[in-house]
Amino acid sequence: MIETSGLHYRETIEVLNPVQSYHNEQDADSQHDPGRKRWIGQVLRFGLVGGLNTIVDLLILNMLLLLFPTSSTRMILIYSAIAYSLGAVNSFLLNKYWTFGYRQRTTWREVVRFIVTTLCGIGWSSIILWLASNALHPILINTTIWANASKVIAISGTALISYLGMSLWVFVNKARKEQTQFNTPVPASVPTQPYTPPAPTRYGTKEALLEGQRLNASSGYEQSGAIEYENEPTRSHSMSVVLPAYNEEQVIANTVFEVLHVLNAWCIDFEILVVNDGSTDQTGEIVEALTGAHSRVRLITHATNEGYGASLVSGFAAATKELVFFMDSDGQFDIRDLQKFFPLIDTYDAVIGYRINRQDSWMRKLNAWGWKQLIGWVLGVHVRDVDCAFKLLHTEFLRRHPLETRGAMINAELLYRLKRAGCTYKEIGVNHLPRLHGRATGARLSVILRAFRELFMFAREWHREEQRLAMQRAKRELPTGS
């Protein structure tokens, strides 16, 4: 088996080499002036964020003026400071993760620097607003026009201060290093540290395990427990593995190789369904090459980015095995943790994971906690980790209970369907690893807004359906007249 895995890996590399060469040629053509392009891109993104913040700022200011009308310059300054401060939260998130590409965890030093920059902006905004309002006040009679004109002038004057403060102080060091890494051509089609199965020895698959552990240790994390491959019993169920992928060219090959290696060693009848959700990078080409080298790998392609839930639904619909298992393809989960799920799947209708020591920023953890509380309140679903993308289910359940949502709401709906159908599930802790490549998309504003929209839209329909079913049951239970 190890010899076969090694041969497949070498064949796959040969298939991917033309894709890599073409990609590197394109990268070389785009690297003539990375510094200027990076600066122009930053300015454009900062301008877009500033435009959005201006809209938020003005909306809050006008809301305050509508609720508490005033013509006092002092009150206008207070209203302006409140609007500016609330818009600062949006500015922090978008400028950190988008404008300056700062991927490190948020630290208190970073927050303090941002607060100081924001306070300087508020101070300068107030000074400019005071000067502008005194200059415009004699010629403008309408209070609302006067306040908004002054505010626009103040925002224009403080934009430069905010940009310089963030680019030269708040998000300067690691952001620039990371931008430089992003602009350096990386062979997208071949993993940075590919898993290369060792030559066959008398140690068999255990030697492969030790090699895999060595690779994982060199990648910056450690395994929580060794899984002995030798004498592993053949599983009684076949399984479809669904891997949703969006712009994961740097990690998708490694993820597929790892799943192939582990499940082959476990002697499971399985298939791997990679759902390319309209990726704009080389994710589709890489997986297409893998399908030619590995018959167990299948590619499902969305022409456009339809959403995380839509990817899972497409994978579920294409599954042909008895069980369905899905996990993210970003390399933050260890497929070996699935071994703990198999003994439970015949006792429970589903086995769901929850992340141990979640490797995300405190902001994402806070968002996840709030989302979990909201899901519990609206849908009555109470689990440790709603959105953990490491779940094992019976395919028949997904056939009988088709999912309706297509965004990040999909995990919550899946748990709600299990609860509503009276199914049982078991929660098991799984390792969560640092994200080494690519960019997470779950925290994008559009993704969050879509999840909230789907939650309240479908929750209303589901509750109405529950009420109709309850009324029908009540009617059936009523005693009939003689």
Residue 230, number of CB atoms within 10 A of its CB: 11
**C-alpha–C-alpha distance, residues 359 and 361, integer Å:** 7
Q: What is the mean pLDDT of the chain?
A: 77
Quick one: 36 exposed, middle or buried, by C-beta within 10 A (0-12, 13-18, 19+)?
exposed
Least confidently predicted of 26-40, 152-166, 233-247: 26-40
Read off the tokens for 224. Answer: 């929580």
Domain limits, the chain: 34-182, 235-467
β-bridge pairing 239-245 and 270-277: parallel
Higher-pLDDT residue of 196 and 255 is 255
State what percent of residues in the chain have pLDDT above 70. 69
CA 100 to chain centre: 19
CA 366 to chain centre: 14
In this structure, which amino acid lies at residue 200?
P
pLDDT at 184: 39
Q: Is the pLDDT of residue 218 over 60?
A: no
Read off the tokens for 13. Answer: 């590399």
pTM for the model stands at: 0.57
Is the four-CA dihedral 12, 13, 17, 20 of positive or negative sign? positive
**C-alpha–C-alpha distance, residues 185 and 77, integer Å:** 49
Helix (H/G/I), strand (E/B), else coil: 353: strand
Query: What is the per-residue pLDDT across 278-311, written as a single tens digit (0 to 9) for each?
Result: 999 999 999 999 999 999 999 999 999 999 999 9
Query: What is the per-residue pLDDT across 20-61, written as a single tens digit (0 to 9) for each?
Result: 555 555 555 544 455 566 677 777 888 888 778 778 778 888
Torsion of CA 440, 444, 448, 454, to 10 degrees: -80
**C-alpha–C-alpha distance, residues 177 and 175, integer Å:** 5
Query: What is the per-residue pLDDT across 107-120, written as a single tens digit (0 to 9) for each?
Result: 777 788 888 877 87
* 49-to-12, 61, 95, 121 alpha-carbon distances in Å: 42, 18, 7, 15
What is the fold, at CATH topology level, of the domain defined by 235-467? Spore Coat Polysaccharide Biosynthesis Protein SpsA; Chain A (3.90.550)
